[in-house]
């Protein structure tokens, strides 16, 4: 099964992440980037990103990175994650994360890179656990997080590694609403359809004005330091 598939639902494109914990590795990046290329070639009115079963995404594929055998491969995998987030931040349409389950680390940041987040209400956590393994955030990732969250929430997520339920995430300003498992995707598509059709050039200009620093830092990522790359191994 391909790690990601694209479905069209009237004016909304739905990017389904379909492989287990939906971790980021070369195969998943190829599939996601290919789907976003299709979106760019034939633009829908809006985009929804969702996962499968109990996982939205748990971020970087640390097992793959540990077995890759080189810091170059690790850096390239992390670079592609940064590029994906930059692309979503500047995308000339409304994007909604339908957070159907666990969203950890890079998976949580994937949700943050979207414009709106709707989370499953009965199961799953949203969390930035990097502090638990002593892994600092790159400048681009830190800029993404602080651009999208209230200051106190960003501090708590990054410094404590707190796991948020849907109700807690709403209170903290991380997600806008929650829905039962069976309704998360349909609710996201419904909301995306209501927001579709805005002039693409205007949306992109506004997003770049809002998130220009984060986009520039994400696009300018050149690699993790050698000693940090080793921690993935």
**Residues catalogued as catalytic:** 130
| CB-based contact 197:43 (threshold 8 Å) | no
Gap between the Cα atoms of 141 and 97, Å rounded: 18
Q: Closest Cα to residue 75, out of 85, 60, 91, 95?
A: 60
Report the DSSP beta bridge partners of residue 120. Answer: 179
Contact residues for 62 (Cβ-Cβ < 8 A; gap 6+) = 23, 232
Which tokens in the block code for residue 185?
A: 């995707």
Q: Closest Cα to residue 163, out of 134, 136, 137, 124?
A: 124
Phi, psi of 42 (to 5 degrees): -135, 80
| CB-based contact 175:118 (threshold 8 Å) | yes
Q: Closest Cα to residue 48, out of 109, 105, 118?
A: 118
């Amino acid at each position: 099964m391909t790690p990601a598939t694209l479905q069209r639902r009237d004016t909304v494109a739905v990017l389904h992440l379909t492989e287990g914990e939906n971790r980021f590795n070369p195969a998943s990046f190829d599939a996601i980037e290919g789907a976003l290329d299709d979106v760019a070639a034939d633009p829908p009115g809006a985009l929804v990103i969702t996962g499968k079963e109990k996982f939205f995404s748990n971020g970087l594929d640390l097992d793959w990175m540990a077995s890759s055998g080189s810091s170059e491969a690790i850096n390239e995998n992390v670079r592609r994650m940064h590029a994906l987030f930059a692309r979503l931040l500047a995308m000339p349409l409304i994007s909604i994360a339908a957070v159907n389950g666990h969203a950890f680390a890079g998976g949580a940041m994937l949700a943050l890179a979207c414009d709106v987040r709707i989370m499953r209400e009965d199961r799953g956590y949203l969390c930035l656990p990097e502090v638990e393994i002593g892994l600092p955030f790159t400048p681009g990732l830190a800029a993404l997080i602080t651009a999208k969250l209230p200051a106190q929430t960003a501090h708590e997520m990054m410094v404590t590694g707190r796991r948020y339920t849907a109700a807690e995430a709403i209170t903290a300003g991380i997600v806008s609403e929650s829905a039962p498992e069976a309704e998360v995707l349909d609710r996201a598509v419904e909301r995306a359809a209501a927001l579709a059709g805005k002039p693409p050039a205007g949306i992109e200009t506004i997003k770049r004005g809002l998130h220009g620093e984060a986009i520039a830092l994400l696009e300018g990522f050149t690699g993790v330091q050698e000693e940090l790359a080793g921690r993935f191994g």
